């Protein structure tokens, strides 16, 4: 029978997820950076996005074990794609608008859709830059800004 001390000693490891969530692998060490999540106030059903897409999924990405800073991470991630982005945009044109607005914000290093949408995110050099950028978005959009603190395992 597990005791409280043995239950408390469980070690959680960073995990990356690929495919449609079935492929797990060690996740890279993230640098400290700013993150801005934005939703235009619409819902987008995941099953509808999957039904709207066609073709094969891209192969799982091979990522660096870590990045020295947010700019390096953004450069690497810019070469990758979200296979659900095109069908999500077709079903919900607001996603296009949010991504364009994020990409145009001062200091945004990368703008992408999260999962199957409609929430999108922008990466920034730090939390302060993400919070400043959030104030420039349309008032009707939900947004949450903060920081990611990689730090290690």
The secondary structure of 92-112 as a DSSP string is: -THHHHHHHHHHHSTT--EEE
Q: Phi then psi for 20, rounded to 5 degrees?
A: -105, 30
Q: Give residues with Cβ within 8 angstroms of 146, minimum separation 6.
A: 34, 35, 127, 130, 131
Between 56 and 22, name the one with better pLDDT. Answer: 56
Task: State the total domains in the chain.
Answer: 1
Cis peptide before 118 (omega within 30 of 0): yes
Banded pLDDT at 122 (limits 50, 70, 90):
very high
Residue 111 domain flag: yes
- Residue 122 neighbours by CB distance under 10 Å: 30
* Predicted local confidence at residue 152, as pLDDT: 53
Banded pLDDT at 59 (limits 50, 70, 90):
confident
Residue 17 domain flag: no
Residue 116 domain flag: yes
Residue 153 domain flag: no
Local structure of 16: helix, strand or coil: strand
Residue 9 domain flag: no
- Expressed as residue numbers, the domain containing 88 is 29-56+64-148
Question: Cα(130)–Cα(117) distance, rounded to whole angstroms?
Answer: 20
Residue 6 domain flag: no
CATH classification at residue 37: 3.30.70.890
Residue 50 domain flag: yes
> What percentage of residues in the chain have a pLDDT greater than 90?
67
Residue range 125-148: mean pLDDT, rounded: 97
* Predicted local confidence at residue 10, as pLDDT: 43
Residue 7 domain flag: no
Residue range 12-24: mean pLDDT, rounded: 64
């Amino acid at each position: 029978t597990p005791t409280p001390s043995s239950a408390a000693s469980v070690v959680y490891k960073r995990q990356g997820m690929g495919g449609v969530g079935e492929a797990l692998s060690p996740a890279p060490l993230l640098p400290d950076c700013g993150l801005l999540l934005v939703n235009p106030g619409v819902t987008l059903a995941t099953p509808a996005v999957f039904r709207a897409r066609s073709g094969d999924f891209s192969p799982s990405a091979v990522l660096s074990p870590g990045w020295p800073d947010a700019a390096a991470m953004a450069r690497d991630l810019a070469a990758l794609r979200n296979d659900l982005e095109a069908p999500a945009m077709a079903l919900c044109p607001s996603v296009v608008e949010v991504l364009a607005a994020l990409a145009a914000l001062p200091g945004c290093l990368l703008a992408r859709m999260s999962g199957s949408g409609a929430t999108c995110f922008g990466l920034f050099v730090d939390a302060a830059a993400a919070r400043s950028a959030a104030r420039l978005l349309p008032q009707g959009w939900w947004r949450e800004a903060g920081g990611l603190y990689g730090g290690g395992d």
